A and B are shown apart, each in its own frame.
Chain A
Amino acid sequence: AQRVTQPEKLLSVFKGAPVELKCNYSYSGSPELFWYVQYSRQRLQLLLRHISRESIKGFTADLNKGETSFHLKKPFAQEEDSAMYYCALKTSYDKVIFGPGTSLSVIP
C-alpha cells in the first residue's frame, strides 16, 4: 500500500536552532518525493523535490531509499519558517498522496 507518514503533528524550535521534519513513505515502486509548505492564509506551494537535490530557503531533503525516508532539514530556523509542512509521494501512475502534515513553530 502507498502511504506517507509524518510522525510529528507539532514541532516547536527556537530561532537559530536546527530543525528536522520527518517523513517516511511506503511504496514498492520508484517514488518521486516532494515537500510542500503552506504559510498562514496562503495556498499550498512546492518547497522542494528530491530529484533536484536543491536547497530552497535553506531547506534540504535527502531521499534515503534504504530507510524509505525523506526528512526535511534546515540548520538555522527562522521565524518566517513557521508554517504547515507536508511531505508528498507521487507514484508511477501519477497518483499523489500526502502525509498528515507537521506544523512548525519557530519561537523568537
Chain B
Amino acid sequence: DVKVTQSSRYLVKRTGEKVFLECVQDMDHENMFWYRQDPGLGLRLIYFSYDVKMKEKGDIPEGYSVSREKKERFSLILESASTNQTSMYLCASTLGRINQPQHFGDGTRLSIL
C-alpha cells in the first residue's frame, strides 16, 4: 500500500519565518504535488514535480518554492510566511503513467501568526 507521509500534522509559525513542509513517499512515484486546501476553494495546485530536480509551477506558486533532491522527497518552502498562507497543505504522489490516481498524505495544518 502506498504511503505518503507529511512530517507534521499541525504547525504554528510566525509572520516572516521561513517554513519547510516535508513530504515522503515510499512507492518510487515519479510525480509529486503540493496543494493547499481552503474551504470553498477546494485544492489549489502550488507546485508539482515529475522528476528529481524538476519542478513546474501550479496555479498559485507565489510566495512558495519547492525542492526535490531525491525521488522520494518533495519539500515545500514558504520563503517568508504571511498570514494569508494559513491553510491545510496536502502532498500527493502518483506514477507518471496514464490514468494513475494520486495518493495523498494526511495534510499539514499550518497557522501563521
A107 on the B face (CB < 8 A)? no
Mask of B24-41 contacts with A, CB within 8 angstroms, 1/0: 000000010101000011
Q: Is A67 part of the contact surface with B, judged by Cβ < 8 Å? A: no
Chain A residues with CB under 8 Å of B102's CB are 34, 36, 46, 88, 96
Residues of B within 8 A of A (CB): 31, 33, 35, 40-45, 48, 50, 56, 58-59, 90, 92, 94, 96, 98-99, 101-102, 104-107
Residue of chain A at shortest CB distance from B58:
A95
> Could you tell me which residues of chain A, from 13 to 43, have a CB within 8 Å of some CB in chain B?
32, 34, 36, 43
Q: How many A-B residue pairs have CB under 8 A?
A: 56
What are 6 A-B contacts with C-beta separation under 8 Å? A32-B99, A44-B92, A45-B104, A51-B99, A94-B94, A100-B40
Given contacts A43-B106, A46-B101, A49-B99, contact A98 B43 (CB under 8 A): yes
Q: Tell me the count of chain A residues lying within 8 A, CB to CB, of chain B.
A: 23
A9 near B101 (CB under 8 angstroms)?
Answer: no
Residue of A nearest to B41 (CB): A100
Interchain CA distance A101-B37 in the complex, whole Å = 10
